[in-house]
Structure 1
Amino acid sequence: MRDPLKAFEEVGREARGEIVRLTMGPFRPYLVTHPDHVRHVLKTSQPNYVREGMFWDPLVPLLGGGILSDGETWQESRRIVQPLFTTKYVNSLAERMADIIAEQIDVTVRPGEPFDIVKGVAQIVHPTIVRLFFGDKISAEDIARLIPAYDTAVTATSMRLVLPFVPRSVPLPGDRAFRRSIETIDDVVYPRVREGRLRLDDDRDIVAALCRARRDDIGEAGDRRIRDDLVAMHGASTETSATALTWMWVALDANPDLAARVYEEIDDVVGTDPIRPAHLPGLRYLGMFLSELLRLYPPGWILPRKALRTETIGAVTVEAGSTVMLSPYLTHRLEEFWDRPLVFDPERFAPENAQRRHRYAYFPFLGGPHQCLGQHLFMLEALLLVGGILSRFRPVLKTSGPVLPRLASSLRPNRDVQMTLVERGRA
């Protein structure tokens, strides 16, 4: 309870890839970290390990029964949503995304003034995704309401992560704030869904695309299906990007030699011009840096699954109804698969090194049938955002002391992180 994340890290290190059973009061999940075992859960025997149970049930009011659920409803949502995340479709959004990110950097960044990294990055990421999803029909006021609502929805459930055996009928700290955040999200999303129903063939945003795909799902139940997919996609897209890119500035500050290579590449490729999608293929080292960032700081650090039937993983019998806990955070630190695993080294992701790695030694975007659809969207947004800031500014971190992860649904810093962005020519 004092430091749950540190406790998980110590167990993962001691287990060295072996399956262990954790004792968390009456809750005794299996911790699975070896890449072979991860592959079994995510791919080989994936239908047996579903997103249900004590960890997932509290999130149902937020995520609903769509793309982040399981079973038939998930399959239907995946079929409908997948075309919206193909490389071709995402690339068609690239110019629009570049424009929005540039606008948000202008609005958010004040050169030489303190910049709260967690809030500042969210204030760039959230409006970008919201405007891509909802088009121009959503107001700045509604965007401003969604940002803290999603933030609260992610952090307010942290107590239930460490006390998953407590029934939902028993109130815990954060429950009330979680319910209020859902009310806010619904107040913003449902009117956009109803508008989208009326403009099926007029708009090209993602709301309209979902409404067209579900034109036969009528009434409140149909609105709910669209709402669930939209909220889940939006939440996953913004939370992954905002959380990962918060750690970007911590990593740059902690690794000045590597940061110098990032700055040099951006200077050479982008120069003083506004960053555009055409620049991105040249940002090779920045892409490697971001991949290493996701290795050490994967936003989805813990991924619970419920076993539907008893079966064996490795030499261990996993009982039906048990919770299996996967953790990219722990697997990405296994010494058997990563040389000097705690050292930040982007060269691990040089193209010539990719073939040496076990496919499931690195899974920030999961794998198998549930592999995240948004990984190309994330990388596009991350390159545009980081490249857009660093082509104009140099970051100076102002936080004293180590910045460590803390327990939440995603991997967030344990303290406020401040920096100053200095205009590049004056750095």
Structure 2
Amino acid sequence: MGAAAARSAGTDIFGLALGQPAVVGFSPAWNRAVLSDLETFRSRGSFSSLVPYLNGGVIVTDAPSHAQTRRRLNPAFGPRGLAGVRRAVAQAVPPFPAEPTDALAWADHTVRDLLNTAYFSGEFDPALLQRFLAPLRRPFPAPMWLAPTVLAAVRRELRRLGHLRLKQPRDDLLTALVRLDGGLLEARISLAAAHDTTTHALAYALWHLAQDPQYHLPEQHPTVIREVLRLYPPGWMGSRRLAHDLDWQGHQLARGTLVLYSTYLTHRAPEWWDRPLDFWPERWQHKPAAWSYLPFGGGERTCLGLHLAQLILGETLAQLPPLRSLTGHPGPLPGLTLGPRGPLWVRRD
């Protein structure tokens, strides 16, 4: 409704009733401004600051410190840094069950186990990891409340494993992060940010491969992942705070305004996408318009876990058997991340 009204008025932003001044934008030009102008659009005070899971580390670090922090973290999360992690993840992908299976539930525990492998060589207490990540799957305001006892236990487990890595390095992310200032905090924050986003992307990928088995080929998987992330971007909405007054196409936005960019609206906008509501991997034969596709954000603040998420998705899809869809509720449900409204039942074909 808001986007349609904005289009009719010849603009790309609209107001949002949140009990405070807030606007949502959805054009590539808006996305570029919000994600590139780090002096005007600040992370501190945005939605991430309200969620204990995400309120810390590089996610809420603003310019000029952000660039320096990212330079320290990028090697661990880059393709070369993840080479050993890729081998471990490929070996840890569980077999798909023989009986009818809810793709969402299977993706949930599979991603949790693969993240345990990637970060901790599978040595983090599985029951504690489940308790830590479970609230992220609940509707608001649950993700805003993290039980102090669970948080304290997670910190102890991180310190325990970090101490072991200092004595005996492993091919995992913790080995690289524990040697960085604030590395254990970055491990905890990035782990939380990775779980639901990757879980929902994997569940949707399984669902569409079960519905359209012609795409279940190794050479097709990269475009399947891109198309899933276009239709159902887990990070469906991003937010910043205005550091000073801004004139945007004649609209006067005051300092302190909560500004949002909607990945979901951009990815489904007919101005930039043919057949925007269809699952159509063939569209990726052509490069999309700049700043019209941003499942991992963009610019200097591109998601730190981009390569890790793609690694987990790619290695898991590569080992899936042929699937057939049964019944499900794939309609997107917005929460902290964007996921399906209900189970997605599939079975081996």
- Establish whether TM, by shorter chain, passes 0.5: yes
Question: 1:148/1:187 Cα in 2 relative to 1: closer, same or farther (>3 Å)?
Answer: closer
Question: 1:195/1:411 Cα in 2 relative to 1: closer, same or farther (>3 Å)?
Answer: closer
AA aligned opposite 1:211? V
Q: Identity of counterpart residues, as a percentage?
A: 24
**Partner residue in 1 for 2:310:** 379
Aligned ranges 1:15-414 → 2 under 5 Å = 15-16=6-7, 18-24=11-17, 26-43=19-36, 45-53=37-45, 55-59=47-51, 61-71=52-62, 74-101=66-93, 104-105=94-95, 109-112=96-99, 114-138=100-124, 142-153=125-136, 155-156=138-139, 158-159=140-141, 174=142, 178-180=145-147, 183-197=149-163, 199-204=165-170, 205-214=172-181, 225-253=182-210, 256=211, 259-263=212-216, 265=217, 283-350=218-285, 353-354=286-287, 357-390=288-321, 393-399=322-328, 402-414=329-341
Decide which structure has the larger Cα Rg and report it.
1
Once residues 198 and 387 of structure 1 are traced to their aligned partners in structure 2, the CA distance between those partners, rounded to angstroms, is 32
Q: Per-residue CA shift, 1:253-302, capped at 9, x if unaligned? A: 5xx4xx23223x3xxxxxxxxxxxxxxxxx23221111011101000001
Greater helix proportion: 1
Q: Could you list the runs of 5+ residues in structure 1 that have no partner in the other structure?
A: 1-9, 160-173, 215-224, 266-282
Contact 1:211–1:226 (CA under 8 A) maintained in structure 2: yes
Once residues 79 and 73 of structure 1 are traced to their aligned partners in structure 2, the CA distance between those partners, rounded to angstroms, is 10
Once residues 364 and 36 of structure 1 are traced to their aligned partners in structure 2, the CA distance between those partners, rounded to angstroms, is 16
Aligned ranges 1:7-18 → 2 under 5 Å = 10-16=1-7, 18=11
Matched residue of 2:53: which SS?
A: helix
Matched residue of 1:284: which SS?
A: coil
Q: Number of matched residues?
A: 345
Question: 1:208/1:92 Cα in 2 relative to 1: closer, same or farther (>3 Å)?
Answer: closer
Cα drift, residue 75 of structure 1: 4.2
Q: Per-residue CA shift, 1:318-371, capped at 9, x if unaligned? A: 211001110110011111111121121111112xx11xx221010001111101
Q: Per-residue CA shift, 1:379-405, capped at 9, x if unaligned? A: 221121122113xx4233233xx5311
AA aligned opposite 2:17? M
Compute the TM-score of the two structures, normalised by the length of structure 2. Answer: 0.90
Compute the TM-score of the two structures, normalised by the length of structure 1. Answer: 0.74
Matched residue of 1:87: which SS?
A: coil
Contact 2:103–2:207 (CA under 8 A) maintained in structure 1: no
Contact 1:49–1:306 (CA under 8 A) maintained in structure 2: yes
